[in-house]
Amino acid sequence: MAQLAREAGGDAAARYNPATALVVVDMQNDFADPAGSLFVAGGDALLGPLNAEIAAARAAGAPVVFTQDWHPPITPHFQTQGGVWPVHCVRGTWGAELVPGLDVAGAPVVRKGTGGEDGYSGFTMRDAVSGVDIPTELESLLREAGVTGLVVVGLALDVCVKATALDGLRLGYDVTVLEAGSRPVELEPGDGASAVEELRAAGAGVL
């Protein structure tokens, strides 16, 4: 984390320009607070370094966009309905809120899973009945801003960060994932390392 904070004042500036956006994925209480229902170990240490990264991006004129899980109380995404995950980020609850102190400052927040959809990417949601992928507003926001490159950070590295980065590559963006700006949830040991390998194999830069 100290490395990311240092880079935000120096090397981080070289990562950004008006065509390279910072995408901050799901920095929400249920993931980043130890009291959250799906706490990602180490997620509570990301706030300061990510705020420094946000500041570096803004100083370079780069767009900053946040994503936010925003689930209904009942969804096939949850274990209670046959899914993989414990109930988390239910819309309108403390757990779904972006962590206090995160420097959102009027930036767009793209909500996902709002209608009970499955999926993890900030770009797409999967209809629970048809299995069809439904786009979020993220790509349209980025295209409208003239963005061609992405830097992706947030939670969790091996789930929503990975899915967002892979979708970004699929859509033609130049994608970099900051490993120091994320943490894996690791349903299985080694999932974080596997995610890094998958990202690199797909063409993403991982710093």
Q: Check whether 63 has a pLDDT greater than 80.
A: yes
Domain count, the chain: 1
Cα-based angle 151, 84, 81 (whole degrees, multiple of 5) = 125
DSSP string, 86-123: -S--BTTSGGGSBPTT---TT--EEEESTTS-B---SS
Q: Where are the beta strands (DSSP E) in the chain?
A: 20-25, 64-69, 109-112, 124-126, 133-135, 149-155, 174-183, 205-206
Q: Is the pTM of this model over 0.75?
A: yes
Range of the structural domain that residue 34 is part of: 2-206
Least confident of 7-16, 38-47, 151-160: 7-16
CATH classification at residue 109: 3.40.50.850
Q: Check whether 8 has a pLDDT greater than 50.
A: no
> What are the pLDDT digits (tens) for 149-202?
999 999 999 999 999 999 999 999 999 999 999 999 999 999 999 999 999 999
Q: Check whether 5 has a pLDDT greater than 60.
A: no
> What are the pLDDT digits (tens) for 64-110?
999 999 999 988 889 898 888 999 999 999 999 999 999 999 999 99
Q: Check whether 9 has a pLDDT greater than 70.
A: no
> What are the pLDDT digits (tens) for 13-29?
799 999 999 999 999 99
DSSP letter, residue 78: B
pLDDT of 3: 52
